[in-house]
Amino acid sequence: MEAGEEPLLLAELKPGRPHQFDWKSSCETWSVAFSPDGSWFAWSQGHCVVKLVPWPLEEQFIPKGFEAKSRSSKNDPKGRGSLKEKTLDCGQIVWGLAFSPWPSPPSRKLWARHHPQAPDVSCLILATGLNDGQIKIWEVQTGLLLLNLSGHQDVVRDLSFTPSGSLILVSASRDKTLRIWDLNKHGRGKQIQVLSGHLQWVYCCSISPDCSMLCSAAGEKSVFLWSMRSYTLIRKLEGHQSSVVSCDFSPDSALLVTASYDTSVIMWDPYTGERLRSLHHTQLEPTMDDSDVHMSSLRSVCFSPEGLYLATVADDRLLRIWALELKAPVAFAPMTNGLCCTFFPHGGIIATGTRDGHVQFWTAPRVLSSLKHLCRKALRSFLTTYQVLALPIPKKMKEFLTYRTF
């Protein structure tokens, strides 16, 4: 997909309905996730089941004309076509999913503890947050259950690993807390911190790529920003008019976006707490009554891997793609009952999950980042806003590096 083109539906995965599943289990796809290296896709397809699908998808799922784009040799350098789809029976409704960074030395140690006779190999793991407050940790390659983490008293709504590969896991729950876990402790994982302060269910948690900050969104008008070094509250970000339900950091950690039921996305500077921009989700066709006043409530927001685009899913049955420096969406796609979205880690594809348990894959803009943006991204990966402002450089350059040129 080129910039300015409408997203095209590449493929759709639909769950089966085997009779042995409890009919009372919900069928919603609350979470979708790609592994960081792009070799696996996971989705909570309802009925207590998580599907692990090798990526790229098999040809039968891809419409004619897109096979070459979806299954190129560049995307399959290690013969991943030999990987097999797996079904993880979690025993409870699955709400949150998170892949570990890959490969990482700690994950190899964790794998070795459960495979003492096996050679030392890389281990990609998947964390699943369940309806009963449990967190189950799975080894992706084999589908083996490695750990069961207990502590939360209600639904584990979201999960996030630190990108550094240290196997630190953050969980967000309806029990109004966040919990920090070290999966490399004592061979069975250890809870190392409980973060309290939210007054409502915690919907979402996101760790900054530089591993310095944690953002949490609950059924409140403000979001909390925590230090990942001291596990203390840095600040509350206030600006939304209704519950905040989703959040995500930019790839360089310089920006934070939050999505709310108030139909808006707010872009923040997480270092200063400054509100940089608001993106409003208005209906394409005006309605004659007030019955649809909440139809544009946001469900999910995420950054593209190069940091130039955002994707949002709203209750008005639209997937929107936004360019970072524009106030209006650059593309729309019709989708029904959307709940979540995520970009493929190498760009070009967006995955969305729906209330009926379906997953859809859409084309996303593929652009060559400008040299200016690449330099900004590299600098902001290790410089805070305050450090940039202290540099002996022209004002316009500081404004560009701190995303104040919108």
pLDDT per position as a tens digit, 46-101: 778 999 999 988 754 555 444 434 433 344 444 445 678 999 999 999 999 999 99
Assess whether pLDDT exceeds 90 at residue 268.
yes
CB 303 within 8 A of CB 310: yes
- Residue 284's pLDDT is 55
How many whole angstroms separate alpha carbon 347 and alpha carbon 326? 20
Residue 295: which of 337, 342, 328 has the closest Cα? 337
How many whole angstroms separate alpha carbon 88 and alpha carbon 85? 10
pTM of the model: 0.87
- Residue 379's pLDDT is 96
- Considering only the C-alpha atoms of the chain, give the largest distance between any 2 of them, rounded to a whole number of Å: 68
Average of per-residue pLDDT across 246-261: 96
- Residue 79's pLDDT is 46
- Residue 25's pLDDT is 47
CB 362 within 8 A of CB 8: yes
Residue 50: which of 126, 134, 151, 150 has the closest Cα? 126
- pLDDT tens readout for residues 126-163: 999 999 999 999 999 899 999 999 999 999 999 999 99
Assess whether pLDDT exceeds 90 at residue 337.
no
